[in-house]
A and B are shown apart, each in its own frame.
Chain A
């Protein structure tokens, strides 16, 4: 199964019932798989006129009780920025799959890229936090897509899955467990009396308000404007503080629970290679090659790019000399690593590592250099 197909299967396994999309290279593999499985799963789909409306339709569908997905790439993702903001403000769980391609604007559509990582975090106006996952194999495409739906329901936030066309086309065996064994977080529904429902009354413990579906008789109102507990617009700084502070903290304070990462050979390492997505495959090869040469290299992979594993990076930084951060861009996550290492370990960014996918030469060279 290819990465694209694994992603579509993961979405369906997580109970996704709606796909809104606009065809754009190179994300189409997911759409094709999803559509062919629609008839048997009862899911529905719509091909919208542009990416703006794709995400808008997805947000609408979510409020009817479905889990919803949109897939896109590059410029399409850039068009979605406004509605990521709306999704955050309405606290609408949904999953956005972004197949990153190389370069700014249209770049090189069929080449892998990593330039949208910061965009996923900062792309929409205003303050918010988001969750972004970066799988590195078809199996993980499946697992993390399921996880993405879980996280989005748990934290009521849009979740972005970042991968690239190389992973999308990569064929590998994917183990899809039985339906009973796939655990997906259930939506947090309100269960009290009908007239007592307040759309944005949050739980003190997790800061998450509970949802209801359209047509259940709650007659609720939600708005993208700054709103109070009732969901009605209130235009003052206190209410703005009430919204923004919580939107940010509902993820920031629980980052430890969200963060997923993979570590190898990090004990007694001198150099740690921090990577994510397709590059991490080469990073691991490079680390192992370096270890054969006697360099004490360690391997650290981000499965959740956002929130960033700040604490863990700081811990690792205390024990090593240098970080090597290979990325398919001109320095994005390397900046975060630099920040979190707090001056304890230097950071070497390896730019555009992926133009050499399949040959970890530049990463290995960077590791060797740190050892000198």
Chain B
């Protein structure tokens, strides 16, 4: 009997890393969060780390949904509290690798305090902050990262508040590793995530990502891919640049690269040492 050659079902290399039963995802066409997720998945693949020991925590918002698509133990928590929740996980079981993926509004606005203090304590977390300059999930409100004078629904006459500089805040608070890439720097981003992952202490990777639905539409900046390319073409790689110079102006060049890489004692080390001393006394 003649056999018919059928196309064999092939496994995508990321199948093991993503919850394929949840695809299609909720993100809009042209969104940069997908890139961040695949870079992250790529990083996990490169790391060859035991995925059972990896935990992903995210907050609320578009990027907050990432946890739901990564096939590790994953938590989708409350708005802004992903880092606090992750702190509990890390201290509860120090053997785990805990990764927080969330948006700019979640991490820097409402979660700003947890961001600052986790960096200060130097809790061993890797934070991936997807910065799309806007609150996208709620329909395009002004975020602390929105450049001047971008239009949003709650800055209907143009934003006038100075935007936050995420790498600078991270550095000032005490993060040990800080990098920034745009959503199209896929390989560099993945490498950065690998580095951050391996660094003991609080590490931050910022991903500049387009919001095709709100930020772009309100400001008439084209579709998601246009913006992604714009960010990519207008980025300048400057490793070790002083974080003072990392402000992002509206539709101007974006400095990317690895800015901070240093060592500080992590929280759990200090705690254990203190407990030991306490015991001796």
Residues of A in contact with B (beta carbons under 8 Å apart): 17-18, 20, 36, 38-40, 44, 46, 48-50, 52-54, 56-66, 68, 82-83, 85-86, 213-225, 230, 232-233
Contacts and interface: CB of A to CB of B under 8 A. Distances in A.
B39 interface: no
Contacts of A83: 78, 81
B268 to A, nearest CB: 8
Interface of B: 19, 21-22, 51-53, 55, 57, 67-68, 71-78, 81, 83-93, 95-96, 113-114, 116-117, 267, 271, 275-276, 278-279
B76 A48 contact: no
B86 to A, nearest CB: 6
B73 A219 contact: yes
B87 A60 contact: yes
Contacts of A60: 57, 75, 84-90, 92
Contacts of A219: 51-52, 71-74
B52 A52 contact: no
Nearest to B83: A53
- Majority secondary structure, B binding face: helix
Given A39-B278, A57-B88, A214 B73 contact: yes
Contacts of B52: 215-217, 219
B96 A46 contact: no
A65 B93 contact: yes
A224 B89 contact: no
Given A50-B113, A86-B78, A221-B67, A56 B53 contact: no
A64 B51 contact: no
B76 A223 contact: yes
Contacts of B89: 60-61, 63-64, 214
Contact of A44 (B57, B92, B113): B92
A104 B74 CA distance: 38
B272 to A, nearest CB: 9
Question: What 9 pairs between A and B have smallest CB-CB spacing?
Answer: A60-B88, A57-B88, A53-B84, A64-B92, A61-B92, A223-B76, A56-B84, A64-B93, A61-B88
B88 A39 contact: no
Nearest to A44: B91
Given A63-B92, A223-B68, 9 more contacts: A39-B278, A46-B91, A53-B84, A53-B114, A54-B84, A60-B88, A60-B92, A86-B77, A219-B73
